[in-house]
A and B are shown apart, each in its own frame.
Chain A
């Protein structure tokens, strides 16, 4: 079973800066099945990116995803105050059905 490891655990940046979040899989992941979510305190997660690089409905274009195989990246080009949250990557494997999340990266205001 593939494990997702996110780094760093915590990222401290200022509004306006660029954020780069990493997600590494222990086994190769189909790009079609790699997603990213944002979660703010007390709220449900929100889908940001699916298929490794496609933005979900209503997601601003400052959010972008890239990568393939075992290494994936979420980039926020210019941080807005509302972007400070926890981010999770997630993969899907079909045999048997498994939906695995990374442990999360907390993006905090510096």
Chain B
């Protein structure tokens, strides 16, 4: 079955940077669009960013545009999220998810917690 494993979360100060990774296996990563979705503690799901299968097109939520960059390395089967100028409101569990081609997400990783605090 599809396997997605996020890493790179942790505690970072406001204004700082962090890079998240998502290692993918057991499917053809290079053929799949991929997403990042986040969930603040006790809150709902919020879509963050999407990248097409070849990395040629990206999209971002307005709340992270200009601060976050999604990328991928198809040779390494890995998805990334570079986060900069982090704010307290970016504190959340960040999930990577596979696009199911219907605009929905059929497989999710277990998530990695990012805490932005001084």
Q: Do A and B form a real pair?
A: yes
Q: Which residues of A come within 8 Å of B, CB atoms?
A: 32-33, 35, 37, 39, 43-47, 50-51, 56-57, 88, 90-92, 94, 96-104
Q: A35-B103, A44-B111, A46-B108 are in contact. List 11 more A-B contacts (CB 8 A).
A: A37-B105, A44-B109, A44-B110, A45-B95, A47-B104, A91-B103, A92-B102, A92-B103, A96-B59, A102-B44, A103-B44
A32 and B103 CA atoms in complex are apart in Å by 8
B95 to A44, Cβ gap below 8 A?
A: yes
User: What does DSSP make chain B's interface, helix, strand, loop or mixed?
Assistant: strand
Q: Which of A47, A91, A98, A103 contacts B105 (CB 8 A)?
A: A47
B44 to A45, Cβ gap below 8 A?
A: no
Which residues of chain B from 102 to 118 have a CB within 8 Å of any chain A CB? 102-111
Residues from chain B with Cβ under 8 Å of A45 in the complex: 45, 95, 105, 108
B44 to A88, Cβ gap below 8 A?
A: yes
The smallest beta-carbon distance between B81 and chain A, in angstroms, is 15
Residues from chain B with Cβ under 8 Å of A37 in the complex: 45, 105
State whether the Cβ of B35 lies closer than 8 Å to any Cβ in chain A.
Answer: yes
The smallest beta-carbon distance between B1 and chain A, in angstroms, is 10
The smallest beta-carbon distance between B116 and chain A, in angstroms, is 21
Chain B residue at minimum C-beta to C-beta distance from A92? B103
B95 to A90, Cβ gap below 8 A?
A: no
